[in-house]
Amino acid sequence: MLGENKVIFSGVQPSGNLTIGNYLGAIRNFSAFSEEYRCFYCVVDLHAVTVRQVPAELRRRTYETLALYIACGLDPEKNTLFVQSHVPAHCELSWMLGCSTMFGELSRMTQFKDKSQKHADNINAGLFTYPVLMASDILLYQTDLVPVGIDQKQHLELARNIAIRFNHLMGDTFTVPDGYISKDGMKIMSLTEPTAKMSKSDPNKNAVVYILDPKDEILRKFRRAVTDSGSEVRYDEDRPGIANLMSIYRCFTGKEYDEIEREFDGRGYGDFKAAVGEACADALAPVQAEFSRLMADKGYLESVMKAGAETAARAAARTMSKVRRRLGFIDLK
């Protein structure tokens, strides 16, 4: 075990602007973990290149993702913040674990099927094997808990299976991680198609509210959000449009559904959508201001990257030494 506290690991791809789904379902909640856990939060740039990237844009988004981590409340003094490609052990362990992962397990990954359809001109080997790299990200730090969205549970289960198999064959090596799904905002839905998850890669920009959207853009998107027939603000899972908006409002205000229903009793969808937009914009304003300040200081962001990579590499080295011995490699000191 790495130190006295248990370990949390999470990673975000720098492959597009982060959404309020990423914020509410994950990043906003991360800062609370640092008091009880040893936290590793990674910008997973290696995962991003399973889809063709423009190099300059990938570099820019890597800085931006790190800045958003900090702007959303992650203190680099209390959390290890780093970039995946700065710790080569992620790739080394991925090869080793790939040799303990079954082809059939990878072929059942639903995200491979989805991404293959979206990127039919680039169905590459990395797209197929990246769940092994994801497992390596997690197992490298002897992770106890992984904050995941519902759509990532399959990948976490694969990581658990790989760890259990390796431990059974080679001896106790890896901590078998558990998943943590936030009750609040665990799945924020599209504003234009509320039966589908809000996705940062959605080609319809009206469907997605990004953390860095200006206030007028946020208000406009919520005004245009799809609602259901009727006009009553009442939570009902059979009315996904209003249920999604109420879920978002609840996350930003802390009000429960019955309280929201009383607040908007007799007022209709127009007033409610305006209020959701205002609550969202007000909550994101300090995050956006801090993000802008951080992006103006690339030297500071690079110092965070360097310190985080050094801390992560030391932790990773302990796991890799054990793995090499288990597999029979000569580990030079």
Nearest-5° angle of CA 310, CA 149, CA 64? 45
Q: How far does Cα 211 stand from its chain's mean position?
A: 13
Residue in 6, 187, 197, 255 annotated catalytic: 197
190 in Cβ contact with 137 (< 8 Å): no
185: left (phi > 0), else alpha (psi -120 to 50), else beta? left
Taking alpha carbons only, the member of 11, 74, 14, 19 closest to residue 284 is 19
Q: How many CB atoms lie within 10 A of CB 168?
A: 9
Per-residue tokens: 26:
């994950």
Spatial distance between the Cα atoms of 328 and 323, rounded to a whole number of angstroms: 9
In the residue annotation, 197 being an active-site residue is answered as yes
177 in Cβ contact with 159 (< 8 Å): yes
By residue count, the chain amounts to 333
Taking alpha carbons only, the member of 212, 189, 327 closest to residue 281 is 212
Per-residue tokens: 118:
């979206």
Q: How many CB atoms lie within 10 A of CB 62?
A: 21
100 in Cβ contact with 162 (< 8 Å): yes
Q: What is the 3-state secondary structure (H, E, C) of 51-118?
A: CCCCHHHHHHHHHHHHHHHHHCCCCCCCCEEEEHHHCCHHHHHHHHHHCCCCHHHHHCCHHHHHHHHH
Residue in 200, 215, 255, 322 annotated catalytic: 200
Residue in 6, 78, 113, 115 annotated catalytic: 115
Residues that are catalytic: 115, 197, 200
